Amino acid sequence: MLTLWGPQLRYGLWRRLWLALAESQQALGIAIPDEAIAAMREHLDDIDFEVVAGYEKKFRHDVMAHVHAFGDVAPAARKFIHLGATSCYVTDNAELILMRRGLILLREKLLDALEALGGFAREWKNVPALGYTHLQPAQLTTVGKRATLWMQDILLDLEDLEYRLSTMPFRGVKGTTGTQASFLSLFEGDHAKVRELDRMVCAKMEFASSIPVSGQTYSRKVDAQVLGVVAGIAATASKFSGDIRMLQAFGEIEEPFEKNQIGSSAMAYKRNPMRSERIAALARFVLSLEPNANQTHAVQYFERTLDDSANRRLAIPESFLATDAILVLLQNVVRGLEVHPARIRRRVEDELPFMATEELIVRFVRAGGDRQEAHEIIRGHSIDAARAVKDGAPKNDMLERLAADPAFGLPLEDLQAVADPTRFVGRSPEQVVEFLDEHVAPWLARERTVTEVEEVRV
């Protein structure tokens, strides 16, 4: 991702765009000699940035600085470089190429995280764990089922990302205010050739089509749509990191912690969720950039204003770079998650008797008792048991209290059978398998680029 948004690749794309324009113009009858085309093709990447800086200092115009620097190394092509084009021919088209490639890089990391989470979900699909609503203990789920919630968010992001990739337009060859007037003049009024020039350049740069109409720039709404996808990925990662931070506070699941890692300079025992906290920090930054893109679009008066340029040079690359870093961290955390079943089981046991109360009422009624009487007996003992736990009791003894109450009249063994945690997870294990096989597997079966696991520095 750093390479993608670096100067070498960006300005190499500018030269490729100038080459594509010249080749297409030549093919459509403009008298551009073969040696000019060859000269351009031979010098696509040997960019002397010191020379460019000198020209930019002189001209105060970055595109013209690169035009002149390109002409210096390809003199046979000098008078044909940028023929009929405006600056946005290279700046906007290159930006769209970079964003498309950036989305592809993010997609690969999302798929890697999805695969790792899938293995985790399958491994822990049967282990009961407390569910939480309102951050309060709720009906049981399983460790694996909770992981599928994180995965579903990733799938939604992937679907958004794929849609943007499949519909992202090229700016194409549109001229100074989008009217293609300069190209119409170049082709002596031949509208068909102007349209063909646009189509040919799009094809050379591997886009299916260009945006149908534009001003000087393509609509900045496209940027907002792309950054919406990028921000969505950041939000997904942030939600995951928040869950992990709380689970680590509960002692149920922890992010990886290296052998010699220090959690706190003062408190030697600390094992802080630093990776997850960093995900949250970076995600907040990315999320702050998404509305910025819409604000930029909203003030592009008429055919364009230039208050977008400096803003976009920061907002777009930094959105992609920060989200890429987020996904590096996400992969690292997912692949190193440490689950503590004993702690999870203890937390379930602390709450499970309360969750079994409905079935306990049913058991009482089946034995010939009165439903309202059962409710009142259970209510009193559950309140007392909860208070005892809060006051330091070693375990939730509500079942023992009920068994000892002659008014309830059911043996402890029967009550404990009711409170088997596997009875309260619903279809969680089956949902995990169905989700992985029916929804995740098709994504992972697609052809993918092998990516190296990047180091996380904490």
pLDDT tens readout for residues 73-94 = 999 999 999 999 999 999 999 9
- Residues 293-326: b if buried by 16+ CB within 10 A, e if exposed: beebbeebeeebeeebeebbeebbbebbbbbbbb
pLDDT level of residue 223 (50, 70, 90 thresholds)? very high
Helices (H), 132-187: 143-167, 181-186
Q: Which residue has the tokens 């324009």?
A: 21
Query: What pairs with residue 138 in β-bridges?
Result: 131
Candidates 7, 38, 11; CA nearest to 22 is 38
- Per residue in 343-380, pLDDT (tens digit) is 999 999 888 887 777 778 888 888 888 899 989 998 99
Query: Structural domain boundaries of the chain?
Result: 1-83, 357-418
Question: Rounded to whole angstroms, how far apart are CA atoms 293 and 296?
Answer: 5
Length of the chain, in residues: 458
Catalytic-role residue among 134, 191, 219, 238: 134
Q: How high is the pLDDT of residue 263?
A: 57
Q: How high is the pLDDT of residue 227?
A: 98
The answer, yes or no, to whether residue 20 has pLDDT greater than 80, is yes
Q: How high is the pLDDT of residue 271?
A: 75
Q: Is the dihedral of CA 20, 26, 30, 33 positive or negative?
A: positive
Q: How high is the pLDDT of residue 448?
A: 73
Lowest-pLDDT range of 104-118, 125-139, 413-427: 413-427
- Per residue in 410-426, pLDDT (tens digit) is 888 888 878 789 989 99
Q: How high is the pLDDT of residue 268?
A: 46
Q: How high is the pLDDT of residue 349?
A: 87
pLDDT level of residue 14 (50, 70, 90 thresholds)? very high
Asked if 1-83 and 357-418 have one fold, the answer is no
Lowest-pLDDT range of 204-213, 248-257, 321-330, 440-449: 440-449
Q: How high is the pLDDT of residue 458?
A: 62
The answer, yes or no, to whether residue 260 has pLDDT greater than 60, is no
- CA torsion, ordered 417, 421, 425, 426, to nearest 10 deg: 0
User: Does the domain at residues 357-418 carry the CATH identifier 1.10.40.30?
Assistant: yes
- Per residue in 33-71, pLDDT (tens digit) is 999 999 999 999 999 999 999 999 999 999 999 999 999
Q: Which residue has the tokens 């939000």?
A: 235
Is 68 labeled as catalytic in the residue annotation?
Answer: no
Candidates 19, 370, 28; CA nearest to 191 is 28
Q: How high is the pLDDT of residue 411?
A: 86
Comparison of pLDDT for 300 and 354, the residue scoring more: 300
Query: What is the average per-residue pLDDT within 208-228?
Result: 96
The answer, yes or no, to whether residue 26 has pLDDT greater than 60, is yes
- Enter the pTM of the model: 0.91
Query: What is the average per-residue pLDDT within 429-452?
Result: 89
Q: Round the average pLDDT of the chain to a whole number and report it.
A: 93
Query: What is the average per-residue pLDDT within 130-144?
Result: 93
Query: What is the average per-residue pLDDT within 104-121?
Result: 97
The answer, yes or no, to whether residue 266 has pLDDT greater than 70, is no
Is 264 labeled as catalytic in the residue annotation?
Answer: yes
Query: What is the average per-residue pLDDT within 9-29?
Result: 98
Comparison of pLDDT for 357 and 440, the residue scoring more: 440
The answer, yes or no, to whether residue 133 has pLDDT greater than 90, is yes
pLDDT level of residue 5 (50, 70, 90 thresholds)? very high
Q: Give the DSSP letter string of 200-256.
A: HHHHHTT-S-B-SS-SSS--THHHHHHHHHHHHHHHHHHHHHHHHHHHHHHTSEE--
* Third-level CATH fold of 1-83: Fumarase C; Chain B, domain 1 (1.10.275)
Catalytic-role residue among 264, 265, 319, 428: 264
Percent of the chain's residues with pLDDT above 90: 77
Candidates 238, 208, 221, 101; CA nearest to 161 is 101
